[in-house]
Amino acid sequence: MAVSIEDIKKLRAMTGAGLADVKKALTEAEGDFDKAKDLLRERGLAIAAKRSDRETSNGCVLVKSVNGFAATIALKCETDFVANGADFIKLTSDILDAAIAAKAHTLDEVKALALGEGDVQAAVTQRSGITGEKMELDGYNVLEGDNIEVYDHMGKHTLCTMVQLNKENAEVGHKIAMQVAAMKPIALDETQVPQEVIDNEYTVAVQKTKEEQIEKAVEVALKKAGLNPNHFDSEDHIESNQGKGWITADDVVKFREIKETVSAEKAASLNENMINNIAKGRVGKFLKENCLVAQEFQFGNGDKETVADYLKKQDKELKIVAYKRFTLAAE
């Protein structure tokens, strides 16, 4: 049957689908709007299933605070072309508005919220059918209470943060939200860093320190033998430098003998107390760089100070209660 342009416009307004998709669905449904909507929804499900293994590295991240309830959410997709589309951004915004209005606390709650003629998950699936790309929701974080500031980094909808203070100070809250965006802390302070993270950093630091001590011993031995350590810093360089005539085959043999012998001797004689102290120092540096209040504040007046120092300078009682951060970038 022939499909009128009025019906096409009507269904397009109802679903947001493209003209060609709407026309095809109406034609197959012989003008039945409910059946046509089902066909569009089925197409979205089919595309979602077919592209389930695709990576959704692009998307739209939004943040908003309303009457003491703030949230971030990300609608992820495959390409920046789709991510930058007005309809895609509007859908993300509509989902966030619904989540905040319902004061949803989990992503599963958000997916089940009513939106349009179905629920949020159905709307995402339908948009997937329209664009032909895999889409999924992620990055749902919530803060509740007073004194919350939100920040969409450079207004690009790819990185958003929320910060809650114990006292009202919008300017400071905004700057701390920018700090969180720029410096990507893993915890508010050392007490909130999981012990397993600290233990892992210590293990890595011990291993790295031992490797450095052995490497230094080998370098000293090579120099004493009249060999330039830089000529032997990788197998590729050894091959290249030998081809250039900078080192000989005998030099390579000599290097390997020295490395094997000195490495074994140094590994057997390492000072464990020194290794542990260096490793503890590295863990301390890690915590200082990754705990928000201990980080160097990036948005002051040129003074070198920590975030905690900056807060104290503004108000001795001012503290950060909590923060949230979500980004699409691989970090």
For the segment(s) 5-50, the CATH number from 1.10.8.10, 3.40.50.920, 3.20.20.80, 1.10.287.610 is 1.10.8.10
Assign domain 58-180+322-327 to a CATH class. alpha beta
Question: What is the arithmetic mean of pLDDT over 271-284?
Answer: 96
Question: Any idea which residue has 């700090």 for tokens?
Answer: 179
State the pLDDT confidence band at 73, using cuts at 50, 70 and 90: very high
Question: What is the arithmetic mean of pLDDT over 207-229?
Answer: 96
The 10s digit of each residue's pLDDT in 8-55 is 777 666 665 666 777 787 788 777 777 877 777 777 666 666 666 788
What pLDDT sits at residue 45? Answer: 61
Domain with CATH 3.30.479.20 in the chain: 58-180+322-327
What pLDDT sits at residue 237? Answer: 93
Quote the CA–CA distance of 159 and 163 in Å, as a whole number. Answer: 14
What pLDDT sits at residue 1? Answer: 58
Domain with CATH 1.10.8.10 in the chain: 5-50
The 10s digit of each residue's pLDDT in 165-195 is 999 999 999 999 999 999 999 999 999 999 9
What pLDDT sits at residue 8? Answer: 75
Q: Is the pLDDT of residue 164 over 60?
A: yes
Q: What is the pTM of this model?
A: 0.81
Percentage of residues of the chain with pLDDT beyond 90? 76
Quote the CA–CA distance of 312 and 309 in Å, as a whole number. Answer: 5
The 10s digit of each residue's pLDDT in 235-252 is 999 999 999 999 999 999
What pLDDT sits at residue 50? Answer: 67
State the pLDDT confidence band at 282, using cuts at 50, 70 and 90: very high
Whether the CB-CB separation of 320 and 165 falls below 8 Å is answered with: yes
